[in-house]
Structure 1
Amino acid sequence: MALSVDDDEVRARLLALRADALERAVGLGAAKSDLVEAAWGANIDDEHDPEGQTIAFERAQVDALAADVRRRLAEVDAALDRLAAGTYGTCVVGGEPIDPARLLARPTATTCVAHAPR
């Protein structure tokens, strides 16, 4: 493995990121439920409500945040898979080691800085 840090340390960090993402997902699920419940009692024509954001807009925001959490979970799970396979810390493009400082900043990184998308 290219990374010079302890596998257990990396795993613990990734699992903490995963737990945080799951906690956010639960919170977003509750927020969406609250919005759906609010919509039942709201004016059907909330698109023209002069008092602010529409329920539809708020639901779209929650949906976008939930999609981000699902993406984050997928990245963390993929990093955990790479760790188990012994390829964590190796650039998927060029095969060279990913700088440990990059992995500290972005634990789910799959590429070295030279191959990172710009």
Structure 2
Amino acid sequence: MDRVRELLEAERRQALRRLAGLTGDFDEVVAASRDANVDDEHDPEGATIAFERSQVSALVLQVQGHLAEVEAARERLAAGTYGICERCGQPIAKARLEARPVARTCIECVSSR
């Protein structure tokens, strides 16, 4: 279980670093929008500031969701239910957990959706 804790902690650290980077990116986009021409929708140079802000915001939500998955996996580990499929109650294959430490279901259950 020490290996699992290490994997989950590494996932958590990576997600937090990514979130910090994205938050900085978002702040930069917002700051740029303050300094930019108000009519950015007609900018012939490419993506609008609103689009960039929306894109970064979506990535932030994705990383926050992954962080929540990591925290839930850590809670399952503490409760002794980590590695047990939430759908069928069978053990989740070790290879799956190594590839995706936050997995809640076994391959068979994921495949049968």
Q: Shorter-chain-normalised TM-score: which range?
A: over 0.9
Structure 2 portions without partners, runs of 5+: none
Partner of 1:11: 5
The RMSD of aligned alpha carbons is 0.9
Give the match for residue 97 of structure 1: 91
> By how many angstroms is 1:116 displaced?
1.1
Identity of aligned residues (%): 55
Aligned length: 112
Could you say which structure has the greater relative contact order, defined with CA pairs below 8 angstroms and 6 or more residues apart? Answer: 1
Structure 1 spans left out of the alignment, 5+ residues = 1-6
User: How many Å separate the matches in 1 of 2:35 and 2:88?
Assistant: 56
Q: Distance in 1 between matches of 2:7 and 2:94?
A: 14
Q: 1:1-118 residue pairs with structure 2 within 5 A?
A: 7-116=1-110, 118=113
1:105 CA displacement:
1.0
Matches of 1:12 and 1:99, distance apart in 2: 18
TM-score, normalized by length of structure 2? 0.96
TM-score under structure 1 normalisation? 0.92
